[in-house]
Structure 1
Amino acid sequence: MDVLSDVIAVTRTGRPRSAHVRWHAPWGQEFASVPGSAGFQVILQGSCWLRLPDEGPVQLRAGDVVFLPHGSGHTLADSAERLWASPVCSSDDHESNGPYVSDSVDRSGEGGPVTVVLCGAYRLDPSRAHPLLQTLPDLVHLPTRSDHHPELRSAVELLAAELERPRLGTDAVVPGLLDTLLLYILRIWFEEQPGRGSTTGWAAALNDLQVTAALHALHRDPAAPWTVAKLAAEAGLSRAPFAKRFATLIGQPPLGYLTWWRMTTAARLLRTSDAPLRSIAAQVGYASEFAFAHAFKRMHGTAPGTYRRNN
């Protein structure tokens, strides 16, 4: 798998939730902060305003996509003035059929202008959060551009259609479309970062051909007997320049990241499979079950068997 796909596979947990919501002005809704989640809002029709605590208002128009990778609380409303007023409703008021249930919802106001929003949330496991996601800002705003991101628009249109008009197979289609939407949002965000002058961090790393080649190699085969020299060869660089470049962009040396990724992968296998410990040890590059258990306990604070029983 490539790096971004791996990150989502490791971090995502549970079933994503979504809704197609039709608002009639006047309206406003508070979305509570939900640690361990990531939310999105896509404006399908009309316009509205969004505000995060202690931040200025952001106007959203049809076609805009906003992503909140850290589950930050926020308010949506039909006007900037209503962002500071008491909300018409709160996300807690509609626990059974609110905006984070895969459904189509109509919120009637007083017959004012209509805004249609596609919203949803993903559950993330903080204990295995990848640093790539941790570096994202509280709000990722992808403004509408008629000639940009056709694949993102297609995913939005397909998801909106399934939620508005459920048919046979919708329950199977929607989770896949939600994962696709998440990947497109992240791909676009990271692809656009170099234009903002980023020289360090994951945004720069994913747009650095040499470092990305090494990342793909170790993600593709974490069990391989990697050395800095072998990873440098994958990157097409000599050892010292590669090690410096990798550490500058990723924030840790190549073998440090490799160990972290091996233990993160092992934790996922312990939670999701019944494979014996010796098999998991081999899958993440350890010939000795004892050596694997020692490395796992050093990173996760508990033995692999105990970790499996507790998760």
Structure 2
Amino acid sequence: MDVVSDAISAVRIGQPSSNRLRVEGSWCTRLAPYGGAGFHVVLAGGCWLVPDGGGPAVTLGAGDVVLLPHGAGHVLADAPGDTGRAVPFEEMRGPVGGGREGRGGRAVELLCGKYRLDRSRVHPLMAELPEVVHLPNRVGAHPELRAAVDLLARELDERRPGSCLALPSLLDLLLIYMVRAWMSDAATGVWPAVLSDPVTTAALRALHSDPAAPWTNDRLAAEAGVSRATLARRFTALVGRPPMAYLTWWRLTRTAALLRDTDVPLASVARETGYSTPYALSHAFSREFGVTPGRYRAGVRAE
């Protein structure tokens, strides 16, 4: 695994959901804040997105993609004016392939959806994403994202055999490509800088590839091809914590995901995350989460 894949996998739960919306004329709809992440793909036409809290309105055109990684509430409308006229999205949306039409004006088609996320243990890469990630449809920009959008549109239009599997898989792919696109476009930001540094990237790749390995600072420095002092200085300055502290954090984050998503025994979880015994894992987990692994697993299953 790599850092981006792990950062997404650690928080993503269940399958994404989506609705296709077709509107015309004057319209305005509000999407309430959500515990996961929201997204919109403009399949045809154009509209405006107005985030809650007074953020700047964003104009969206055909082929544009927008990610709201923290589930911020927002308004979609034909114009950025009075958002007080907004009706709840649940009253606007129809089934995929359906929609709502107004009188006159240019038709707008959107794919609106949500990713379910567990925010109890968010990787700092995901936490750093801005409230609104707007990825305009520019010629030559992010060809893999454009290809995913084209595949989504085609799958929605034709509804061929296998669509029930293809659509969730394409939506998962869309999330990865949106995060990648943000990282490549970001002029500033901690994690784009982290993953552009070859030493830190090599160390993170090693830790994520095999978190259960008996890592030490010396062994990790050798993996990155630098001295122990150089690794400690560069890793800590960029990531915000020393390599072994990050490893402990990631092992326990991975433990939480395994407890949430699988039924494997605690002994197997301990082996997979680098703890010598279930007792050692339980002690570390309880210190970090304030609850035993068993109680944590029972709690997340009951939600």
TM-score, with length taken from structure 2: 0.93
Q: Within 2, Cα distance between the matches of 1:56 and 1:276?
A: 49
Change (3 A) 1:85 1:306: closer
1:180 pairs, out of 173, 180, 184, with 173
- The AA in structure 2 aligned to 1:215 is L
1 CA distance for matches of 2:295 and 2:19? 38
CA apart distance, 1:85: 4.2
Contact kept, 8 Å, 1:262 with 1:285, in 2: the verdict is yes
Which of 103, 119, 124 aligns to 1:126? It is: 119
Per-residue deviation, 1:19: 2.2
- AA paired with 1:286? Y
Question: What secondary structure, in the 3-state scheme, does the structure 1 residue paired with 2:116 have?
Answer: strand
* 2:67–2:132 contact (8 Å) kept in structure 1: yes
TM-superposed CA distance for 1:56, in Å, is 2.3
Q: Does 1:64 align with 2:64?
A: yes
Distance in 1 (CA, whole Å) between partners of 2:23 and 2:91 is 16
Confirm or deny that 1:144 pairs with 2:143.
Answer: no
- 8 Å CA contact 2:190, 2:239 repeated in 1: yes
Is the contact between residue 22 and residue 114 of structure 1 (CA under 8 Å) also seen in structure 2? Answer: yes
| Higher strand fraction (1 or 2) | 1
> Is 2:88 the partner of 1:90?
yes
Kindly indicate whether the alpha-carbon contact (under 8 Å) linking 2:37 and 2:117 is maintained by their aligned counterparts in 1.
yes
Indicate the larger mover: 66-75 or 285-294.
Answer: 285-294
Measure, in 2, the Cα distance between the counterparts of 1:126 and 1:253.
23
Q: What do the CA deviations read for 1:98-147 (whole angstroms, capped 9, x no partner)?
A: 37x6x123210002111121221101101121111111110111122111
Question: Which stretch of structure 1 is more off in the superposition, 216-225 or 267-276?
Answer: 267-276
* Count of residues paired in the alignment: 299
Question: What is the distance in 1 between the residues matched to 2:298 and 2:18?
Answer: 32
- Mapped to 2, the partners of 1:192 and 1:242 lie a distance apart of 27
TM-score, normalised relative to structure 1? 0.91
Tell me the residue number matched to 1:39.
38
Q: Is 1:5 matched up with 2:20? A: no
Displacement of 1:271:
2.4
Q: Structure 1: state its 5+ residue gaps.
A: none
Tell me, which stretches of 5 or more residues in structure 2 are unaligned? Answer: none
Does the CA-based 8 Å contact 2:8-2:126 persist in structure 1?
no
Query: Is the contact between residue 19 and residue 163 of structure 1 (CA under 8 Å) also seen in structure 2?
Result: no
8 Å CA contact 1:214–1:231 kept in 2: the answer is: yes
Alignment match of 1:290 (pick from 268, 272, 279): 279
Deviations 1:26-48 (A, max 9, x none): 111111111x2111112222211
Counterpart residue identity of residue 284, structure 1: T
Mapped to 2, the partners of 1:249 and 1:107 lie a distance apart of 48
User: Is 1:205 aligned to 2:179, yes or no?
Assistant: no
Match in the other structure for 1:279: 268
Over the aligned positions, Cα root-mean-square deviation in angstroms equals 1.6
2-structure distance, mates of 1:303, 1:177: 36
For 2:200 and 2:236, the matched residues in 1 are separated by 10
Match of 1:240 in 2: 229
Report if the CA contact (8 A) 1:21-1:106 is conserved: yes
